[in-house]
Amino acid sequence: MDVKLEHKISQQLWYLTISNFKSMIREVGQIIWIFGYPIVFMLLFKFAYGQVVWEYMAPGVIILGPVVLISQLAGHFATEKESGRLQRLITTPVSRYGLLLSGLFSQLIVATIQIVIMILLSFIFGANIHPNVNIFLLFLIPFLMAFNSLGFGLLLASIVKTASSADGLAWFIILPLQFLGGLLVSPDAVFLEFIPTSLALRAMTAVMISGSVAFELVGIKLILVTIWGVGLVLLGIILFQRKTAIF
């Protein structure tokens, strides 16, 4: 591909991503969601269950944050489809895949902000964090879980007709991922070991509490979570473009 063309495409993608993000933060409700949700969620969990439980369950709480984003993501894409915004943008000289990817990336910006807030609050609230914890992995693991949530959100948005339906049905995905992955029970009480939440939880526990970066404890699980994420996003894009007939 021509270098100039690649540069033009990347500029378009960046512009659309930032434009989507700005449109979200213009709404008071969205600002409250982006910044308020992780703060309120972690505050309630810590003070409801106490310091001892908090120290042990903090890794699962951080992973749960991006999982709940499935509802937000599904609602966003369903709204784009329902409002006809995607179809209208097709008339512009913007790449069609760029339209969809910009929506994904703008939601990843939201996920990044929330993950950073949750990690900072974990330090402030005295979670059981190893002195030599790897900060990069501490962020990467929930970020990969957010990437999985993008895929689940796209899959759901592709089969529903309205944003309200997407928001409600999202919990039929969130709850099984939450409980079967052991997020609010214990890393030792995982029911399905190879779903993304279970893999992310065990990797997060090893990094956060034990300070481990061992490949057999962390690396393999991160590879599997990444495979899950790529597979879900690709499948979501395929189904979404067929159901919405925008590509």
HSE at residue 50, side-chain half, CA atoms within 13 A, is 2
C-alpha Rg value of the chain to the nearest Å: 18
Residues 6+ apart with CB under 8 A from 42: 61, 118, 121, 122, 125
Number of domains comprising the chain: 1
Question: Do the beta carbons of residue 184 and residue 178 sit within 8 Å?
Answer: yes
Task: Please state, in angstroms and as integers, the Cα–Cα distance from residue 130 to each residue in 14, 60, 86, 122, 207, following that order.
Answer: 37, 16, 46, 12, 8
Number of H helices, E strands in the chain: 10, 0
- What range defines the domain where residue 129 resides? 3-244
Cα distance between residue 205 and residue 190, in whole Å: 13
Q: What is the pLDDT along the chain (247 residues), one digit of tens a residue?
A: 555 555 565 777 777 778 777 777 777 777 887 788 888 888 888 888 888 888 888 888 899 888 888 887 777 777 766 666 666 555 555 555 666 777 788 888 888 988 999 999 999 988 889 999 999 999 999 999 999 998 898 888 778 777 777 778 888 888 888 888 888 766 566 567 789 999 999 999 999 998 888 887 788 999 999 999 999 988 888 887 776 554 4
pLDDT for the residue 247: 46
The tokens of 46 are what?
């810590």
pLDDT for the residue 94: 57
